[in-house]
Structure 1
Protein backbone atom coordinates (compact mmCIF):
# COMPACT_ATOMS: atom_id res chain seq x y z
CA UNK A 1 0.00 0.00 0.00
CA UNK A 2 3.04 2.32 0.28
CA UNK A 3 4.11 4.53 -2.58
CA UNK A 4 7.28 2.59 -3.27
CA UNK A 5 5.40 -0.70 -3.33
CA UNK A 6 2.68 0.49 -5.68
CA UNK A 7 3.23 0.28 -9.41
CA UNK A 8 0.75 3.02 -10.18
CA UNK A 9 2.53 5.41 -7.84
CA UNK A 10 5.89 4.62 -9.45
CA UNK A 11 4.47 5.36 -12.89
CA UNK A 12 3.00 8.62 -11.60
CA UNK A 13 6.37 9.73 -10.20
CA UNK A 14 8.18 8.74 -13.42
CA UNK A 15 5.60 10.58 -15.50
CA UNK A 16 5.92 13.65 -13.31
CA UNK A 17 9.69 13.76 -13.73
CA UNK A 18 9.32 13.28 -17.47
CA UNK A 19 6.90 16.17 -17.62
CA UNK A 20 9.33 18.30 -15.65
CA UNK A 21 11.90 17.83 -18.44
CA UNK A 22 9.32 18.22 -21.21
CA UNK A 23 7.49 21.05 -19.47
CA UNK A 24 8.21 23.77 -22.03
CA UNK A 25 6.82 21.65 -24.85
CA UNK A 26 3.66 20.90 -22.95
CA UNK A 27 3.39 24.41 -21.48
CA UNK A 28 3.82 22.95 -18.01
CA UNK A 29 6.31 23.35 -15.19
CA UNK A 30 7.36 21.10 -12.35
CA UNK A 31 4.93 22.69 -9.92
CA UNK A 32 1.98 21.89 -12.16
CA UNK A 33 1.94 18.23 -11.13
CA UNK A 34 4.15 17.39 -8.15
CA UNK A 35 6.27 19.97 -6.42
CA UNK A 36 9.88 19.10 -5.52
CA UNK A 37 8.95 19.45 -1.87
CA UNK A 38 6.17 16.89 -2.21
CA UNK A 39 8.46 14.43 -3.97
CA UNK A 40 11.09 14.90 -1.27
CA UNK A 41 8.48 14.23 1.39
CA UNK A 42 7.34 11.05 -0.34
CA UNK A 43 10.92 9.76 -0.57
CA UNK A 44 11.64 10.46 3.09
CA UNK A 45 8.33 9.32 4.57
CA UNK A 46 9.11 6.93 7.41
CA UNK A 47 5.52 6.58 8.55
CA UNK A 48 3.45 3.40 8.42
CA UNK A 49 2.09 2.69 4.93
CA UNK A 50 4.95 4.72 3.42
CA UNK A 51 2.59 7.61 2.72
CA UNK A 52 3.36 11.30 3.03
CA UNK A 53 1.70 12.91 6.06
CA UNK A 54 1.24 16.56 6.99
CA UNK A 55 1.27 17.92 10.54
CA UNK A 56 -2.01 19.19 12.01
CA UNK A 57 -1.74 22.03 14.49
CA UNK A 58 -5.46 22.29 15.22
CA UNK A 59 -8.72 20.44 14.83
CA UNK A 60 -10.81 17.99 16.79
CA UNK A 61 -8.41 15.07 16.65
CA UNK A 62 -5.36 17.18 17.54
CA UNK A 63 -7.21 18.63 20.53
CA UNK A 64 -8.40 15.20 21.64
CA UNK A 65 -4.88 13.78 21.47
CA UNK A 66 -3.44 16.77 23.33
CA UNK A 67 -5.88 16.22 26.20
CA UNK A 68 -5.25 12.48 26.26
CA UNK A 69 -1.47 12.87 26.09
CA UNK A 70 -1.34 14.70 29.42
CA UNK A 71 -3.26 11.88 31.10
CA UNK A 72 -1.07 9.30 29.38
CA UNK A 73 2.05 11.01 30.73
CA UNK A 74 0.58 10.90 34.24
CA UNK A 75 -0.14 7.18 33.85
CA UNK A 76 3.40 6.54 32.62
CA UNK A 77 4.77 8.20 35.79
CA UNK A 78 2.52 6.05 37.97
CA UNK A 79 3.51 2.92 36.05
CA UNK A 80 7.20 3.75 36.48
CA UNK A 81 6.75 4.26 40.22
CA UNK A 82 4.85 1.01 40.59
CA UNK A 83 7.41 -0.76 38.44
CA UNK A 84 10.11 0.31 40.87
CA UNK A 85 8.22 -0.74 44.00
CA UNK A 86 5.49 -3.30 43.35
CA UNK A 87 4.77 -3.90 47.06
CA UNK A 88 3.83 -0.28 47.69
CA UNK A 89 1.86 0.15 44.46
CA UNK A 90 -1.77 0.93 45.31
CA UNK A 91 -3.10 0.65 41.76
CA UNK A 92 -4.44 -2.80 40.77
CA UNK A 93 -4.74 -1.53 37.21
CA UNK A 94 -1.05 -0.59 37.12
CA UNK A 95 -0.04 -3.96 38.52
CA UNK A 96 -2.16 -5.76 35.94
CA UNK A 97 -0.63 -3.81 33.08
CA UNK A 98 2.87 -4.29 34.49
CA UNK A 99 2.33 -8.05 34.60
CA UNK A 100 1.81 -7.91 30.83
CA UNK A 101 4.92 -5.75 30.48
CA UNK A 102 6.94 -8.29 32.49
CA UNK A 103 5.93 -11.08 30.12
CA UNK A 104 6.85 -8.91 27.15
CA UNK A 105 10.25 -7.97 28.58
CA UNK A 106 11.13 -11.67 28.73
CA UNK A 107 10.79 -11.81 24.93
CA UNK A 108 12.63 -10.17 22.05
CA UNK A 109 11.67 -8.51 18.79
CA UNK A 110 8.43 -9.59 17.18
CA UNK A 111 7.58 -11.92 20.08
CA UNK A 112 7.64 -8.92 22.47
CA UNK A 113 5.17 -7.00 20.33
CA UNK A 114 3.00 -10.07 19.90
CA UNK A 115 2.84 -10.75 23.63
CA UNK A 116 1.56 -7.24 24.31
CA UNK A 117 -0.94 -7.36 21.47
CA UNK A 118 -2.35 -10.73 22.56
CA UNK A 119 -2.41 -10.03 26.31
CA UNK A 120 -4.11 -6.64 26.05
CA UNK A 121 -6.64 -7.97 23.56
CA UNK A 122 -7.57 -10.60 26.15
CA UNK A 123 -7.51 -8.23 29.14
CA UNK A 124 -10.02 -5.71 27.79
CA UNK A 125 -13.63 -6.36 26.85
CA UNK A 126 -14.66 -4.62 23.62
CA UNK A 127 -17.27 -2.04 24.63
CA UNK A 128 -18.48 1.06 22.82
CA UNK A 129 -18.01 4.48 24.40
CA UNK A 130 -21.76 5.02 24.22
CA UNK A 131 -22.44 1.87 26.23
CA UNK A 132 -19.67 2.56 28.74
CA UNK A 133 -19.83 6.32 29.19
CA UNK A 134 -23.04 7.44 27.51
CA UNK A 135 -20.86 9.53 25.19
CA UNK A 136 -19.35 9.14 21.74
CA UNK A 137 -15.58 9.03 21.17
CA UNK A 138 -14.04 9.00 24.64
CA UNK A 139 -10.27 8.36 24.60
CA UNK A 140 -9.20 6.85 27.92
CA UNK A 141 -5.71 6.65 29.44
CA UNK A 142 -4.45 3.09 29.97
CA UNK A 143 -4.99 2.84 33.73
CA UNK A 144 -8.62 3.95 33.37
CA UNK A 145 -9.11 1.28 30.71
CA UNK A 146 -7.57 -1.42 32.88
CA UNK A 147 -9.57 -0.25 35.90
CA UNK A 148 -12.84 -0.76 34.02
CA UNK A 149 -11.61 -3.73 31.97
CA UNK A 150 -13.46 -2.37 28.95
CA UNK A 151 -12.88 -0.07 26.01
CA UNK A 152 -13.07 0.39 22.28
CA UNK A 153 -10.38 0.32 19.60
CA UNK A 154 -8.51 3.48 20.59
CA UNK A 155 -8.47 2.41 24.25
CA UNK A 156 -6.79 -0.86 23.29
CA UNK A 157 -4.32 1.08 21.15
CA UNK A 158 -3.46 3.61 23.87
CA UNK A 159 -2.92 0.83 26.42
CA UNK A 160 -0.62 -0.96 23.95
CA UNK A 161 1.39 2.23 23.42
CA UNK A 162 1.96 2.49 27.16
CA UNK A 163 2.88 -1.19 27.51
CA UNK A 164 5.29 -1.09 24.59
CA UNK A 165 7.04 1.96 26.02
CA UNK A 166 7.32 0.30 29.42
CA UNK A 167 8.71 -2.81 27.74
CA UNK A 168 11.55 -0.76 26.26
CA UNK A 169 10.35 -0.01 22.74
CA UNK A 170 11.55 3.38 21.52
CA UNK A 171 8.91 6.06 21.10
CA UNK A 172 10.39 6.72 17.65
CA UNK A 173 9.22 3.25 16.63
CA UNK A 174 5.64 3.62 17.80
CA UNK A 175 2.60 5.20 16.18
CA UNK A 176 -1.12 5.31 16.78
CA UNK A 177 -2.85 5.10 13.41
CA UNK A 178 -6.47 5.87 12.57
CA UNK A 179 -7.77 3.90 9.60
CA UNK A 180 -11.01 3.96 7.71
CA UNK A 181 -12.54 0.48 7.65
CA UNK A 182 -14.03 0.44 4.17
CA UNK A 183 -15.99 -2.74 4.81
CA UNK A 184 -17.70 -1.61 8.01
CA UNK A 185 -17.82 2.06 7.10
CA UNK A 186 -16.22 3.22 10.35
CA UNK A 187 -12.92 4.53 11.68
CA UNK A 188 -10.61 2.18 13.53
CA UNK A 189 -7.50 2.82 15.69
CA UNK A 190 -4.47 0.53 15.85
CA UNK A 191 -0.85 0.69 16.97
CA UNK A 192 1.98 0.45 14.46
CA UNK A 193 5.33 -0.68 15.86
CA UNK A 194 8.51 -0.63 13.77
CA UNK A 195 10.83 -3.63 13.81
CA UNK A 196 13.85 -3.91 11.49
CA UNK A 197 12.39 -1.27 9.19
CA UNK A 198 8.95 -2.91 8.95
CA UNK A 199 5.75 -1.60 10.54
CA UNK A 200 3.76 -4.29 12.38
CA UNK A 201 0.11 -3.62 13.22
CA UNK A 202 -1.23 -4.35 16.71
CA UNK A 203 -4.99 -4.58 16.31
CA UNK A 204 -7.65 -5.47 18.88
CA UNK A 205 -9.46 -7.41 16.14
CA UNK A 206 -6.48 -9.70 15.51
CA UNK A 207 -4.29 -11.84 17.74
CA UNK A 208 -1.71 -12.08 14.97
CA UNK A 209 0.22 -9.05 13.72
CA UNK A 210 0.51 -8.16 10.05
CA UNK A 211 2.59 -5.57 8.23
CA UNK A 212 1.04 -2.32 7.12
CA UNK A 213 1.47 -3.26 3.45
CA UNK A 214 -0.64 -6.37 3.96
CA UNK A 215 -3.68 -4.60 5.41
CA UNK A 216 -6.68 -4.74 3.11
CA UNK A 217 -10.00 -2.85 2.97
CA UNK A 218 -8.69 -0.01 5.13
CA UNK A 219 -7.54 3.50 4.22
CA UNK A 220 -5.06 5.26 6.55
CA UNK A 221 -6.37 8.64 7.69
CA UNK A 222 -4.20 9.91 10.55
CA UNK A 223 -0.96 8.95 12.26
CA UNK A 224 -0.01 10.10 15.77
CA UNK A 225 3.42 10.20 17.38
CA UNK A 226 5.09 12.10 20.22
CA UNK A 227 5.10 15.31 18.22
CA UNK A 228 1.37 15.26 17.53
CA UNK A 229 -1.16 14.37 14.86
CA UNK A 230 -0.45 14.08 11.15
CA UNK A 231 -2.92 13.59 8.32
CA UNK A 232 -2.10 11.16 5.55
CA UNK A 233 -2.27 12.43 2.01
CA UNK A 234 -4.06 10.11 -0.39
CA UNK A 235 -2.46 7.99 -3.08
CA UNK A 236 -5.03 9.53 -5.40
CA UNK A 237 -2.92 12.68 -5.63
CA UNK A 238 -0.22 10.85 -7.58
CA UNK A 239 -2.67 8.75 -9.56
CA UNK A 240 -4.53 11.85 -10.72
CA UNK A 241 -1.23 13.44 -11.73
CA UNK A 242 -0.65 10.60 -14.14
CA UNK A 243 -4.11 10.77 -15.67
CA UNK A 244 -4.86 14.50 -15.56
CA UNK A 245 -1.79 15.92 -17.31
CA UNK A 246 -2.93 19.50 -17.42
CA UNK A 247 -4.43 19.67 -13.94
CA UNK A 248 -2.56 20.48 -10.72
CA UNK A 249 -2.43 17.93 -7.96
CA UNK A 250 -4.83 18.73 -5.17
CA UNK A 251 -4.42 16.74 -1.96
CA UNK A 252 -7.73 15.25 -0.90
CA UNK A 253 -8.69 16.31 2.61
CA UNK A 254 -9.87 13.54 4.91
CA UNK A 255 -12.62 14.11 7.44
CA UNK A 256 -11.74 14.16 11.12
CA UNK A 257 -12.41 11.02 13.14
CA UNK A 258 -16.01 11.28 14.24
CA UNK A 259 -16.75 8.10 16.22
Structure 2
Protein backbone atom coordinates (compact mmCIF):
# COMPACT_ATOMS: atom_id res chain seq x y z
CA UNK A 1 0.00 0.00 0.00
CA UNK A 2 1.16 3.55 -0.62
CA UNK A 3 2.84 5.24 2.32
CA UNK A 4 1.84 8.76 1.29
CA UNK A 5 -1.62 8.48 2.83
CA UNK A 6 -2.93 11.95 2.02
CA UNK A 7 -2.03 11.72 -1.66
CA UNK A 8 -3.25 8.12 -1.86
CA UNK A 9 -6.62 8.97 -0.34
CA UNK A 10 -7.09 12.02 -2.56
CA UNK A 11 -6.31 9.94 -5.65
CA UNK A 12 -8.74 7.21 -4.64
CA UNK A 13 -11.56 9.61 -3.81
CA UNK A 14 -11.11 11.29 -7.21
CA UNK A 15 -11.43 7.89 -8.87
CA UNK A 16 -14.57 7.14 -6.85
CA UNK A 17 -16.25 10.40 -7.68
CA UNK A 18 -15.23 10.44 -11.32
CA UNK A 19 -15.79 6.80 -12.20
CA UNK A 20 -18.46 5.77 -9.69
CA UNK A 21 -18.43 3.09 -7.05
CA UNK A 22 -21.19 0.59 -7.01
CA UNK A 23 -22.75 -2.34 -8.76
CA UNK A 24 -26.43 -3.22 -8.53
CA UNK A 25 -27.32 -4.47 -5.08
CA UNK A 26 -27.55 -8.23 -5.06
CA UNK A 27 -27.90 -10.18 -1.82
CA UNK A 28 -25.61 -13.17 -2.00
CA UNK A 29 -27.40 -15.82 0.03
CA UNK A 30 -25.48 -18.93 -1.04
CA UNK A 31 -22.47 -20.09 -2.93
CA UNK A 32 -22.50 -22.14 -6.12
CA UNK A 33 -20.42 -25.19 -5.24
CA UNK A 34 -19.90 -26.40 -8.79
CA UNK A 35 -19.11 -23.01 -10.28
CA UNK A 36 -16.68 -22.30 -7.46
CA UNK A 37 -14.95 -25.65 -7.98
CA UNK A 38 -14.74 -25.11 -11.75
CA UNK A 39 -13.21 -21.66 -11.27
CA UNK A 40 -10.68 -23.13 -8.86
CA UNK A 41 -9.67 -25.87 -11.31
CA UNK A 42 -9.15 -23.24 -13.98
CA UNK A 43 -7.00 -21.14 -11.63
CA UNK A 44 -4.72 -23.95 -10.49
CA UNK A 45 -4.02 -26.56 -7.78
CA UNK A 46 -3.51 -23.98 -5.02
CA UNK A 47 -6.95 -22.60 -5.75
CA UNK A 48 -8.48 -26.09 -5.69
CA UNK A 49 -7.04 -26.76 -2.25
CA UNK A 50 -8.08 -23.33 -1.03
CA UNK A 51 -11.63 -23.58 -2.34
CA UNK A 52 -12.05 -27.07 -0.87
CA UNK A 53 -11.04 -25.71 2.53
CA UNK A 54 -13.22 -22.62 2.12
CA UNK A 55 -16.29 -24.63 1.17
CA UNK A 56 -15.78 -26.83 4.22
CA UNK A 57 -15.52 -23.70 6.37
CA UNK A 58 -18.65 -22.16 4.85
CA UNK A 59 -20.63 -25.38 5.24
CA UNK A 60 -19.71 -25.61 8.92
CA UNK A 61 -20.28 -21.89 9.52
CA UNK A 62 -23.76 -22.01 7.95
CA UNK A 63 -25.00 -23.66 11.14
CA UNK A 64 -23.66 -20.81 13.32
CA UNK A 65 -25.16 -17.48 14.29
CA UNK A 66 -23.77 -14.33 12.67
CA UNK A 67 -21.01 -13.72 15.26
CA UNK A 68 -19.89 -17.31 14.71
CA UNK A 69 -19.87 -16.83 10.96
CA UNK A 70 -17.77 -13.69 11.31
CA UNK A 71 -15.27 -15.55 13.46
CA UNK A 72 -15.06 -18.53 11.11
CA UNK A 73 -14.50 -16.45 7.98
CA UNK A 74 -12.09 -14.03 9.64
CA UNK A 75 -9.95 -16.85 11.00
CA UNK A 76 -9.98 -18.76 7.74
CA UNK A 77 -8.49 -15.99 5.64
CA UNK A 78 -6.17 -14.61 8.31
CA UNK A 79 -4.63 -18.05 8.78
CA UNK A 80 -4.53 -19.12 5.16
CA UNK A 81 -3.39 -15.95 3.37
CA UNK A 82 0.03 -14.34 3.82
CA UNK A 83 0.19 -10.57 3.59
CA UNK A 84 2.16 -9.20 0.63
CA UNK A 85 1.62 -6.03 -1.34
CA UNK A 86 0.28 -5.96 -4.89
CA UNK A 87 3.64 -5.14 -6.46
CA UNK A 88 5.07 -8.40 -5.10
CA UNK A 89 2.01 -10.56 -5.87
CA UNK A 90 0.70 -9.08 -9.12
CA UNK A 91 3.44 -6.78 -10.37
CA UNK A 92 0.99 -3.85 -10.12
CA UNK A 93 0.68 -0.96 -7.69
CA UNK A 94 -3.01 -1.63 -7.01
CA UNK A 95 -4.89 -4.82 -7.93
CA UNK A 96 -8.16 -6.02 -6.41
CA UNK A 97 -8.17 -9.82 -6.39
CA UNK A 98 -11.24 -12.01 -6.31
CA UNK A 99 -11.50 -14.57 -3.49
CA UNK A 100 -10.31 -17.44 -5.69
CA UNK A 101 -7.45 -15.39 -7.10
CA UNK A 102 -6.35 -14.69 -3.53
CA UNK A 103 -6.66 -18.35 -2.55
CA UNK A 104 -4.66 -19.39 -5.59
CA UNK A 105 -1.85 -16.99 -4.76
CA UNK A 106 -1.98 -17.77 -1.04
CA UNK A 107 -1.07 -14.15 -0.43
CA UNK A 108 -2.54 -10.70 -0.83
CA UNK A 109 -2.75 -7.22 0.58
CA UNK A 110 -5.31 -5.72 2.96
CA UNK A 111 -7.86 -5.14 0.19
CA UNK A 112 -7.71 -8.80 -0.82
CA UNK A 113 -8.33 -9.94 2.76
CA UNK A 114 -11.31 -7.60 3.14
CA UNK A 115 -12.80 -8.49 -0.25
CA UNK A 116 -12.53 -12.25 0.35
CA UNK A 117 -14.18 -11.93 3.78
CA UNK A 118 -16.94 -9.70 2.37
CA UNK A 119 -17.99 -12.14 -0.35
CA UNK A 120 -17.70 -15.16 1.94
CA UNK A 121 -19.99 -13.58 4.53
CA UNK A 122 -22.49 -12.56 1.86
CA UNK A 123 -22.46 -16.17 0.66
CA UNK A 124 -23.31 -17.22 4.21
CA UNK A 125 -26.36 -14.99 4.16
CA UNK A 126 -25.09 -12.00 6.11
CA UNK A 127 -27.10 -9.05 4.73
CA UNK A 128 -25.16 -6.63 2.56
CA UNK A 129 -26.32 -3.66 4.64
CA UNK A 130 -24.41 -5.06 7.63
CA UNK A 131 -21.08 -5.17 5.80
CA UNK A 132 -18.84 -2.35 4.62
CA UNK A 133 -15.36 -2.32 3.16
CA UNK A 134 -13.63 0.56 4.95
CA UNK A 135 -10.59 2.55 3.86
CA UNK A 136 -8.76 3.80 6.93
CA UNK A 137 -5.57 5.52 7.98
CA UNK A 138 -3.84 2.93 10.16
CA UNK A 139 -1.21 3.79 12.76
CA UNK A 140 1.30 0.99 12.25
CA UNK A 141 3.85 0.34 15.01
CA UNK A 142 2.24 2.38 17.78
CA UNK A 143 2.52 6.10 18.47
CA UNK A 144 6.04 6.25 17.04
CA UNK A 145 5.13 4.25 13.96
CA UNK A 146 3.91 5.27 10.52
CA UNK A 147 0.45 6.14 9.22
CA UNK A 148 -0.47 3.91 6.31
CA UNK A 149 -3.48 3.50 4.02
CA UNK A 150 -5.31 0.29 4.89
CA UNK A 151 -8.61 -1.54 4.30
CA UNK A 152 -10.71 -3.51 6.78
CA UNK A 153 -14.17 -5.07 6.77
CA UNK A 154 -16.74 -3.66 9.18
CA UNK A 155 -19.81 -5.53 10.40
CA UNK A 156 -22.78 -3.49 11.65
CA UNK A 157 -25.16 -5.64 13.75
CA UNK A 158 -27.75 -2.86 13.36
CA UNK A 159 -27.73 0.69 11.94
CA UNK A 160 -27.22 2.18 15.41
CA UNK A 161 -24.76 -0.41 16.73
CA UNK A 162 -21.02 0.02 16.99
CA UNK A 163 -19.36 -1.85 14.11
CA UNK A 164 -17.05 -4.81 14.60
CA UNK A 165 -13.76 -4.75 12.68
CA UNK A 166 -12.39 -7.74 10.74
CA UNK A 167 -8.74 -7.07 9.98
CA UNK A 168 -5.63 -8.90 8.85
CA UNK A 169 -3.38 -6.78 11.11
CA UNK A 170 -5.11 -7.88 14.33
CA UNK A 171 -6.75 -11.29 14.26
CA UNK A 172 -9.23 -10.63 17.05
CA UNK A 173 -12.55 -9.16 15.93
CA UNK A 174 -12.88 -5.97 17.98
CA UNK A 175 -15.44 -3.16 18.28
CA UNK A 176 -14.36 -0.02 16.45
CA UNK A 177 -13.85 1.76 19.79
CA UNK A 178 -11.07 -0.74 20.56
CA UNK A 179 -9.28 0.10 17.33
CA UNK A 180 -7.99 3.63 18.02
CA UNK A 181 -5.21 2.89 15.53
CA UNK A 182 -7.74 3.15 12.67
CA UNK A 183 -9.17 6.41 11.36
CA UNK A 184 -11.97 5.83 8.79
CA UNK A 185 -11.75 7.73 5.51
CA UNK A 186 -14.72 6.25 3.66
CA UNK A 187 -16.55 2.95 3.33
CA UNK A 188 -18.64 1.17 0.73
CA UNK A 189 -20.53 -1.99 -0.15
CA UNK A 190 -22.85 -3.06 -2.95
CA UNK A 191 -25.42 -0.48 -1.85
CA UNK A 192 -23.61 2.79 -1.23
CA UNK A 193 -20.67 4.97 -0.25
CA UNK A 194 -20.19 6.57 3.16
CA UNK A 195 -17.77 9.35 4.11
CA UNK A 196 -15.90 8.94 7.40
CA UNK A 197 -17.97 7.11 9.99
CA UNK A 198 -21.47 7.57 8.71
CA UNK A 199 -22.49 10.20 6.15
CA UNK A 200 -23.72 8.59 2.95
CA UNK A 201 -22.26 10.51 0.01
CA UNK A 202 -23.71 8.66 -2.95
CA UNK A 203 -27.32 7.62 -3.20
CA UNK A 204 -27.52 5.68 -6.45
CA UNK A 205 -25.67 2.33 -6.28
CA UNK A 206 -24.58 2.26 -9.93
CA UNK A 207 -21.47 0.44 -11.13
CA UNK A 208 -18.86 3.21 -11.26
CA UNK A 209 -15.52 2.36 -9.62
CA UNK A 210 -13.81 0.13 -12.15
CA UNK A 211 -11.88 -2.08 -9.72
CA UNK A 212 -14.95 -2.69 -7.56
CA UNK A 213 -17.07 -3.45 -10.63
CA UNK A 214 -14.43 -5.86 -11.91
CA UNK A 215 -14.06 -7.74 -8.64
CA UNK A 216 -17.85 -8.02 -8.29
CA UNK A 217 -18.01 -9.62 -11.73
CA UNK A 218 -15.12 -11.96 -10.98
CA UNK A 219 -16.57 -13.08 -7.65
CA UNK A 220 -19.97 -13.81 -9.18
CA UNK A 221 -18.33 -15.79 -11.98
CA UNK A 222 -16.55 -17.80 -9.29
CA UNK A 223 -19.84 -18.82 -7.66
CA UNK A 224 -20.19 -16.22 -4.90
CA UNK A 225 -23.87 -15.59 -5.59
1:94 and 1:177 mapped to 2: Cα distance? 25
For 1:59, what is the secondary structure of its paired residue? helix
> Which position in structure 1 is the counterpart of 2:77?
120
Shift of 1:194: 2.0
Shift of 1:61: 4.0
- Structure with the greater alpha carbon radius of gyration: 1
Equivalent residues in 2 for 1:43-122, closer than 5 Å: 59-61=14-16, 63=19, 80-82=31-33, 85=34, 89-90=37-38, 91=40, 92=48, 93-122=50-79
Q: Does structure 1 retain, via aligned residues, the 8 Å contact 2:133–2:151? A: yes
Greater percentage in helix: 1
Structure-2 change in CA distance of 1:233 and 1:103 (3 Å): closer
For 1:168, what is the secondary structure of its paired residue? coil
| Larger RCO (CA under 8 A, 6+ residues apart) | 2
TM-score of the two chains, using structure 1 as the length reference: 0.57
User: Which residue of the other structure, out of 84, 102, 121, is the alignment partner of 1:145?
Assistant: 102
Q: Structure 1 residue 219 and structure 2 residue 187: aligned?
A: no
> Which position in structure 2 is the counterpart of 1:251?
none
Q: Structure 1 residue 194 and structure 2 residue 156: aligned?
A: yes
For 2:79, what is the secondary structure of its paired residue? helix
Equivalent residues in 2 for 1:161-180, closer than 5 Å: 161-180=118-137
Shift of 1:209: 0.6
Structure 1 residue runs without a partner (length 5+): 1-57, 235-259
Deviation beyond 3 Å, 4+ runs, structure 1:
61-66, 93-96
Shift of 1:218: 2.0
CA RMSD, 1 decimal = 2.9
Structure 2 residue runs without a partner (length 5+): 1-12, 41-47, 141-145, 199-225
TM-score of the two chains, using structure 2 as the length reference: 0.65
Shift of 1:109: 3.0
